[in-house]
Structure 1
């Protein structure tokens, strides 16, 4: 499957808000917050048509026990091997959705949130990231090859964000 990169679409934040509201309503008391993360959450950044959402929970087990509510919304669990994270995907048009559920105790130090905020504040990095993504997509990279090829730039930006907040540096790949 080839990677499709689209120009930023100002409709993406509204789609993310609607999806976040649906999730909070479907899982009352199980999710403490849901935020739009990923490239579609960065105004002006070209992105794959995928809305990435990150949700915090007090207990991953509580969300896993309520997967029927997620299935009713079209989300299906995918095993990623990432520690302390549940991952769900919902197919759709004009966008698909990825839901990353993490522990509330790790919320403030999550790389996805830090990268989003960094890209919002650093136009040069945002432009470099867009150029890299378009180049990889144009070269025919797909799936994991596309993601892995972005690692060095993402690591540099996350390191800068973590350093700026006085956080220890960590590998962006959770394995």
Structure 2
């Protein structure tokens, strides 16, 4: 797993992908944004552009899958039941872009959007998160274990971000087989 220094080209790449997706699937997305670590200026990240798109109903995306695939966004099942996931892979098989498609009803309280905005507004927290990411990479954490390994810090930061907005804490791990927050854990 590789954590790269922040690349000022990431927002441009995200904007190009957003424009291409809107053009390929006109009227599908009610919201479409750059999320994840590559959307936070200065934050080191796995060099993968994460996007999140909101639709009225997840079923609305299915007829657009051929157009998404023409852009390289292929369906990917990773066990999340509250979204559709589409992944673009390079010729070497590495992910370059990930598109999370969620319902518009859930859009305002999506942890990924809330955490992105929190880190943009709290640079010291973003720096601390970046240090945690680099420590995991330096320790040789395999890519398949990376998300789980950073769950504690992501949960802490997301709880703070949600609290600032007056929202209750919720588990950040969304895969069906992932670690769950115990009710006794406080924010």
Give the TM bin, normalised by the shorter chain. Answer: over 0.9
Root-mean-square deviation (CA, aligned residues, Å) is 1.5
Q: Which has the higher contact order (CA 8 A, sep 6+)?
A: 1
Contact 2:10 / 2:39 at 8 angstroms: preserved in 1?
Answer: yes
Return 73-82 or 42-51, whichever deviates more.
73-82
Deviation of 1:27 after TM superposition, in Å, equals 0.8
Deviation of 1:143 after TM superposition, in Å, equals 2.2
Q: Which residue of 2 aligns with 1:87?
A: 85
Q: Which residue of 2 aligns with 1:152?
A: 152
Q: Tell me how far apart the structure 1 counterparts of residues 105 and 144 of structure 2 sit (CA, whole Å).
A: 28
Q: Tell me how far apart the structure 2 counterparts of residues 61 and 170 of structure 1 sit (CA, whole Å).
A: 25
Q: Which residue of 2 aligns with 1:74?
A: 72
Q: Which residue of 2 aligns with 1:118?
A: 118
Counting only pairs closer than 5 Å after superposition, residues 16-55 of structure 1 correspond to structure 2 as 16-55=14-53
- CA deviations 1:73-117 (Å, max 9, x no partner) are 011111122122000110238970000000000000000001101
Structure 1 residues without counterparts, runs of 5 or longer: none
Q: 3-state DSSP class of the match of 2:119?
A: helix
Deviation of 1:22 after TM superposition, in Å, equals 0.5
Q: Which residue of 1 aligns with 2:185?
A: none
Q: Tell me how far apart the structure 1 counterparts of residues 119 and 40 of structure 2 sit (CA, whole Å).
A: 7
TM-score, normalization: structure 1?
0.94
Q: Which residue of 1 aligns with 2:182?
A: none
Aligned residues: 173
Q: Which residue of 1 aligns with 2:135?
A: 135
Structure 1 stretches of 4+ with a deviation exceeding 4 A read: none
Structure 2 residues without counterparts, runs of 5 or longer: 177-187
- CA deviations 1:39-72 (Å, max 9, x no partner) are 0000000011100000000111110222101110
Q: Which residue of 2 aligns with 1:169?
A: 169
